[in-house]
Structure formats: C-alpha cells, structure tokens
Structure 1
Amino acid sequence: MAAGATTMGAAPGDRGEAAPAPLDRVIPAPASVEPGGSPYRITERTRIRVGDSRAAREAGDYLADVLRPSTGYRLPVTGDGGGGTGKDGGGGDIRLRLVKSPHGGAGGAEGYRLDSGRSGLTITAARPAGLFHGVQTLRQLLPAAVEKDSVQPGPWLVAGGTIEDAPRYGWRGAMLDVSRHFFTVGQVERYIDQLALYKINKLHLHLSDDQGWRIAVDSWPRLTTYGGSTEVGGGPGGFYTKADYRRIVRYAASRHLEVVPEIDMPGHTNAALASYAELNCDGVAPPLYTGTAVGFSSLCVGKEITYDFVDDVVRELAALTPGRYLHIGGDEAHSTPHDDFVTFMKRVQPIVARYGKTVIGWHQLTGADPAKGALAQYWGLDGTGPAEKERVAEAARNGTGLILSPADRAYLDMKYDANTPLGLSWAGHVDVRRSYDWDPDAHLPGVPASAVRGVEAPLWTETLENSGHLEYMAFPRLPGIAELGWSPAATHDWDGYRSRLAAQAPRWDALGMDYYRSPQVPWPAGGGGGGPDVFCAGWGGGGGGATCRVWTSINFCYSHLNI
C-alpha cells in the first residue's frame, strides 16, 4: 500500500495504552507501507543488535544515544546480530542489518526496510546511509517525548507492519549561508542534526560573499583575518579554521550528509577584493562591506593573478573536502560583462576538475558553457523570463544536471507573509503550502525529468543571526522540501501532508526548536513555535529600519534586525 493518501490505524499495546503512530505518519512519506500485526515495544530488556558491521554499530550507537536519555533504559549495543525479521523471532530486540539485497525491495545506497512486530524490530539496508535513514524513520514512529533529555514515562511503542523505502532523488540538499552572518561550528552541527531527521543528504555551505570570507586559505591568509572580520550590520564576523571545517565535514558525514562548499565568483567577492588589492582591476582595495546589496563586485577577469588566486583557493578547499562537488557560484555577476563571465568560467571550471571535483554553479552558469558533468542550481522564479528558462532547459537537454531551488518555492529566507519579522520578500511571500505544492520534474518547461538531480532549500542569512532565527525560517518549510526530494510523486498530497506536518510540532518542542506556527497547518493545541507568540516592538512594516525584537515561547530574543 502506498503511503500519503490514507492514514492507517494500528493496534494498540496490550495494556490499554493509546495506539502508536501509524507507519505512514512520518516525513518524508515512505515509498511503501504495509500495516499489520501487534506493535513493537521498547523495554528495559531491549538490546540493539548490530552484528559485526562497523557501520551498523555506528548507527546503533547513534540510536542508543537518542533513546537512552528519555527511556532511561540501558539499551546495550551488541554485536550479536542474530536472525529474525523483527516480526517473527526477533527476541524483542532492535536489529540493524546490512545485507547486499535487503528483501529485494529497498535498493540503492539510501533505501531501507523496517519490519516491526511484537517480537522485535529490524531495519535492513544495503548501505550505511540506508540504515541511518531507517533509524530516522524509527525516531519519528516513537512518541515525540523520545527526543527529550530527561526520563519520560513512555510507553515506547512502534506500530506493527513493514515499510520499504528509498528516495526519489539522489540530491536532497539544504544550503546554509554563513557569509552574511557567521554561524559557529556548534550552530552548524545543530542544523545538521535537524536536517538529518528529514533525510537531507547534502549540506551546501555558502562560504564567501561580499560581507565575509569564512574558510581559512593558507596561501591567502588575509581572506579570513581581514575579509572574515565583519558581517551584515557590522558585527564581528568570524571564520572556520581548517580544523573547524574538517570537524563540520566529519559531523555531517556521521549523519550521512555530504558537505558541498561554495566559493561564489566572479561576483559576490567584495570580501576577497577588500583583502587583496591586486585582485582588483585598478589595484585599489575597496572597503569592507556590511550591507545587503548585490551585484556590485567582480574579480578582475583579465588579470592572471585572478586565476592563481582561484587555483590556490580551490586546491586548498578541495583537499579539505572528501565529497565529490565544489560550487563556484556565478550568480548576480552584474558587474562582470557577459563575455568576461564566459571567459572566467572557461578558465575556472578546469581548475575545479584538476583537483578532482565536479563543478556546480548557480543556473547563470548555463549562460557560459557548463563543463561535462557539471550541475546547475536553478533559483529562478515562476516569473523568470522565458529566454532564461529556455537557456537552462537547453543545457539540461544537452546533459547538464539540474538542482531545483526556485526562490519563490524553496528559499527558506523568504517571509511567510507580510507580517513575518525575519527574512526578505524580493521573491514574494512563500507560505508553507507554496513551498510544498510543486513537482520538481514538471517545474521547468522543456527540461527532461532525467536531468533533475533533486532539490535544495537555501537559507540566506541577511536577517538571521542565531539558531533560533534559522529554525523559525526553516521550520515548517524544510520538511516539505525534504519530502519533495525523497518521497514518490504518488504520495504528494497537501491535505495529508499538513496533517503529518502538524504531528511534528511536539517533536520540535521536545528538541527545543523554534518554528513558525503557520495558520495553514492544524497544529496541536499548546506547544511552542514562534507564530502566535511573536511580538515586534517598533515594527515598521518593512524597509523602515526599525529595530525589531521578537520573543517566542522558548525565549529566543531576536534583536537588532534592520527590517
């Protein structure tokens, strides 16, 4: 039975307890759900059995770390993988199993199968990422209180039945802009954990822009010591040392996310130009920039030192990045003449290839000549001109893969409505339904579905300064983009989705997250979130420069926002 259209019941536990959540209650919607049988119960005797696989043990340790604080159980992770499917002979334990062909159903690098019944629960996958994604599904099937860091009463029931699941697209990304405002390693790790819950598998880090350079480059040290010393509004900025960046990469990998670094060029480069005068055509360094305008900066395309600079930056960043991709930006290069832009991209794309990485650029790359195998990230609007859309479509027909991030659908920094105290509105207002209710395969006319590699939800940070800000803008929209990337098109249904989305609220509350309580979603009574609790003193209605303070139910104070 396919998930998405109907919510199925599940047999309650044997002790008069409420029924556990139906197997199709999770986000993203699973590919296939077959309910049946008695629920599984985690008890003080439960063990997590992982066999002799290191990857299964890592997934088991992760699961135990989630479950132990709230259940109060020991939940030993043991190498005895044993037999049993979870429904018949699992011995009451949780089993995590890596096999070459899991039941012939959940194939690929990220697919999994979950079997739940009275005698045990088993998650089976062919690859470690699939096992990890199955663990995320198990988390959502348990009561939201499982996310708390203190002992809760339970019971810890999982509905009986089988889920077979695999993603629609291989690219399910989230971009975090750390250039307009800097975010610490700990804040990035917090966001990674939130992304992992919804099976996001790419973390695109926007590491450089006009307002700040955020990654250490040994051969050009002033990029960070000077270019990274500020941010929008004139704050202290910051940057990642190479050790910091490696820590982010490792942490993301432990959650099965691949880090995709971006150095935006030839535009969006004022921080670099201010750091090194020789990168400017006139040899004069501009001042540091703390505003939010775009399109005024450009590397000097005609100078050979520009390509020495790019080579050094790409070489050092590629050496730090185990993933396949490196993003070279290319958007809003309004100060770069078109012929120069084409020349620049012809010089820079082979540099990326030289250091073993595949090029990604914003969709303006299609106005040059995308390298073989390159990906273009489309951020246009519904109202983007037909000529620009056709250029992207032509590149897709000629072999350029597309990542879809339409700004008026997927940009998480767009205001929900006119009263949203954070974010921007140049792409219009993007409410929760608008961010969910579109089909990536059919979004761009003339683009073959085979060219669509997946979706990505960018979060730009001109107005965002802390984790509370990120959460308020990302949730509840991010889970919808994640579902577009993971779930089969047949499961796509707004009415069913918004019901499942509402059920996420107690989980976010338990995790201490902020979120916007959209009126489009039937949220449970009570709970946190920023929607009804937002109070903005001196609200100027956009563009007035008023200082806005927003308090939410979990006491994040959003201050010093020039809206």
Structure 2
Amino acid sequence: MTRNDRTTPRTARVLGSLLLVAAAGAFTLGAAPAPPEAPVTPLNQVVPAPASVTPGGAPYRLTRATAVRVDGSAEVRRVGGYLAGILRPSTGYPLPLTEHGAGGIRLHLEKGGFGAEGYRLRSGPTGVTLTASAPAGLFHGVQTLRQLLPAAVEKKTVQHQDWRIAGGTVEDRPRYAYRGAMLDVSRHFFTVAQVERYIDELALYKVNELHLHLSDDQGWRIAINSWPRLAGYGGASEVGGGKGGFYTQAEYRHLVSYAAARYVEVVPEIDMPGHTNAALASYAKLNCDGVAPPRYTGTEVGFSSLCVSKDVTYTFVDDVIKELAALTPGRYLHIGGDEAHSTSHADYVTFMDRVQPIVAKYGKKIIGWHQLTGAHPRRARWPSTGGWTAPVRPRRSRSHRPPATARG
C-alpha cells in the first residue's frame, strides 16, 4: 500500500468531521434565539396604586395563540380592539378578537360593585380576565394590564422577548371622580398630533379630565367663526416669538372625540377678563380706548383686561361661549378669572356676574380659577394650589382674590 493510499481514509474522516462542525454551526446560526425572560412586574407596581392587590399563582404568558375575548357589545369590542392594537406591534402576535373560546385575555361586563370606572383583573397560567360594570372600567383595567407587561410592549416594532403578567388579583376603583390635567396650548402651541400623544399618556394613568387652556395673552388657539381674527391674527404668536397656531373647529372636534374614545372629557378654558391680550390685539373695539395693543410674546401676567363697561364685551363673550359650548359635549366650560390685576374689584364682580349666566344659558357648568370666589360664584368647580375643591357657594369678599391669597 502506498503512502497516498494509507492517508486517504484519514483525510476523508477529517473532512467529514469539519463538514459536520460546519453544518452544526450553520444550524445554530439559523435558529431563532429564545426570547429573554423579562422579570415579571409585581401587581402593586401600577400608577396610580390600585385599591386592592392580592398576588398569587403562576403568571400568564402571552403567545402567538393568545386571543382577546370580548362580550358582544360594541363598546367592549372597541376596548378590546384598542388593547389588541397596542399589543400587536411589539409582540408580533395576531391577537384576534373573538366572542368564543377559553383562556387568553377576556374583557367582560357584569353587574357588581365596580362603579362607573372600577374593574377587577385576575391573572393565572390559563389567562387574564378583566371584569367591570361599565366600558370605562374595562378601559382602565386595560391600562393596568399594559403597565404589568414589560415596558417594551409600548414599542411600535416587534420585540423578541417574554411577555408575562404576574398571577393574582387586582381590584380598583378611583378615589376621586375628577382626575384632571391641564395643557397650556396658548403660551406655546401644540399640534393636534402632540395633543393626541398627551391624551394617550393621560389615559395610561387613568386621568379622565383634560383642561385645555385655549386663550391667553400670547395666543388664541380655537377658531371662532363669528370673530375670525381671534384665531387668524390672535393665534399667530406665542412666547418667544414663534409662529403660534390654532385649531380649526374640525380639529377641535377631532380632539374631543379622540379624548372621549379614551374616556377623557375635554374642559375648554377661555380665560377672562384678564389674560386677554390676544383677543384685544385682534379687535380694537374690545379695548376701552378703542386702540388694539400689539401681540405679546413675553411671560408677564396681569396687564390685560376686557373692557367691562362696554356692551360689545358681552356680545363677544356670548358668541365665543356659544360656539365653544356647541363644539364641546362635556359638562364643563372654564372661564378663567385668574390674575386680573388690571381689573378693579368692582369691575371684576360686575363682569363675572354677567358672564356666569351666559355659560349656564348654553348648558355648561362653570369652572374657574380660585380668584372667582372673590366675586359671586355660582355653584362651580375651582382649582387652587391644593387641588380640586368642593363646589363653591357665593360669598362676599373685599377683593376678587380670596383672603388667603390677598395675604400672600
């Protein structure tokens, strides 16, 4: 046997081994990596803190087979569709809506002690069940479910990871019926898309009232058909000299509907008699001297006031409130009333006594800043530095600032 003959089998064995190693490597590279097992969020790690948490049992894991099971009502299906729409992009799962089957994520309405916004979430190895007495409760339960999943669930592209919800029971209902946040779009204008994003964040934390500050010295942000220069001219400025902007009535209606779909009520504010430079600059006749001031892009307060003695002022107020009330299905309309330092106390009381019945005439409940208590406030809500108070009853004051405010 020659040397070449003796080495051929050994070479074949070596080559065969190398081929096996290469094949194994190719197989390993081609295999999909197992998703990392993210830590399970404890049931009590939710904002705001739930009323009751009872942890226990194995978690539920979302998989490609998970479905969203809903009752037959249109509102429950809508909430289920909202949930699936949030979960699909990040999980990559189809998450079909169905009224049949078992397991998965179930959204269910039943009579019980949940109130208008309360819910119960039960999680175990076979599924998650959200139960409420009203669709708003199911919606709030969905926000808790979102917070219990890994934060990556909010991403808009597929995330390869483990999706688990801790086992146990959460029971929750709001302590406060009015849970509000304000967005000042007057000093700095925010686009429709930016306001939508803000509403989405409010909904995640179960805030149910959006106070939109639509007018101030620096800008007027809502189109009023009977006074078109308010938006066209008064809306073209903001703090720092930016171009500003305003919402058409169609855009405002869209924002109201967008918020309502997330169980958020819009509370529009037209601040008066102070914080009105944008309106005064738009229409000279609203000024006592008939001269329109320039638009304002600074940050000082308390220098502007509607002309309390002119009848046109109340025509203006009536027109604005009439149009805004028609655009707003919510219960409230905010009339401001703060920092009217250039309005005398007598004029402030006179103005508020004439304006409040206009709000009532168009079917809205009044909200005002706490300075309104220095006039003769009708039954209303008013925010102070300490938060929302109980409804206000009329009282007399020597100043349109409450006594505590007057003392500093």
State whether TM-score is above 0.5. Answer: yes
Shift of 1:396: 5.9
1:49 is paired with a residue of what secondary structure? strand
Structure-2 change in CA distance of 1:280 and 1:397 (3 Å): closer
Answering whether residue 397 of structure 2 is matched by residue 377 of structure 1, we say no
Answering whether residue 67 of structure 2 is matched by residue 52 of structure 1, we say no
Greater C-alpha Rg: 2
Q: What TM-score do the two structures reach when normalised by structure 2? A: 0.85
Q: Distance in 2 between matches of 1:398 and 1:241?
A: 36
* Aligned partner (choices 243, 251, 254) of residue 244 of structure 1: 251
Aligned residue pairs, count? 362
Q: Distance in 1 between matches of 2:210 and 2:225?
A: 24
Structure-2 change in CA distance of 1:18 and 1:320 (3 Å): closer
Structure showing the higher helix proportion among its residues = 2
Structure-2 change in CA distance of 1:380 and 1:272 (3 Å): farther
What amino acid is aligned across from residue 59 of structure 2 in structure 1?
Answer: P
* Aligned partner (choices 38, 53, 59) of residue 33 of structure 1: 53
Answering whether residue 278 of structure 2 is matched by residue 271 of structure 1, we say yes
- Report the equivalent of 1:113: 120
State how 1:58-457 maps to structure 2 within 5 Å.
58-80=78-100, 91-101=102-112, 104=113, 107-372=114-379, 374-379=380-385, 398=393
1:171 is paired with a residue of what secondary structure? coil
Q: Distance in 2 between matches of 1:29 and 1:123?
A: 17
Shift of 1:17: 4.5
Where in structure 1 are there 5+ consecutive unaligned residues? 1-14, 83-90, 382-391, 401-443, 445-563
What amino acid is aligned across from residue 150 of structure 2 in structure 1?
Answer: P
Q: Distance in 1 between matches of 2:233 and 2:38?
A: 59
What amino acid is aligned across from residue 378 of structure 1 in structure 2?
Answer: S
What amino acid is aligned across from residue 260 of structure 1 in structure 2?
Answer: V
Structure-2 change in CA distance of 1:252 and 1:277 (3 Å): same
Contact residue 269 and residue 297 of structure 1 kept, 8 A: yes
Shift of 1:154: 2.3
1:240 is paired with a residue of what secondary structure? coil
Q: Distance in 2 between matches of 1:205 and 1:155?
A: 39
What amino acid is aligned across from residue 342 of structure 2 in structure 1?
Answer: S
State how 1:7-18 maps to structure 2 within 5 Å.
17=37
What amino acid is aligned across from residue 357 of structure 1 in structure 2?
Answer: K
Q: Distance in 2 between matches of 1:237 and 1:210?
A: 12
Q: Distance in 1 between matches of 2:234 and 2:250?
A: 19
Shift of 1:379: 3.0
Structure-2 change in CA distance of 1:303 and 1:158 (3 Å): same
User: Once superposed, which parts of structure 1, at least 4 consecutive aligned residues long, lie more than 6 Å away?
Assistant: none
Q: Distance in 2 between matches of 1:63 and 1:146?
A: 11
Where in structure 2 are there 5+ consecutive unaligned residues? 1-34, 396-403
Q: Distance in 1 between matches of 2:386 and 2:136?
A: 31
Q: Distance in 2 between matches of 1:134 and 1:351?
A: 39
Which structure is richer in relative contact order (CA contacts within 8 A, separation 6 or more)?
1
Shift of 1:51: 1.6
Q: Distance in 1 between matches of 2:117 and 2:383?
A: 22
Shift of 1:54: 1.0
Answering whether residue 44 of structure 2 is matched by residue 24 of structure 1, we say yes
Structure-2 change in CA distance of 1:155 and 1:235 (3 Å): same
Contact residue 41 and residue 92 of structure 1 kept, 8 A: no
Shift of 1:40: 1.0
What amino acid is aligned across from residue 376 of structure 1 in structure 2?
Answer: W
1:336 is paired with a residue of what secondary structure? coil
Contact residue 362 and residue 379 of structure 1 kept, 8 A: no
Structure-2 change in CA distance of 1:266 and 1:16 (3 Å): closer
Shift of 1:354: 0.5
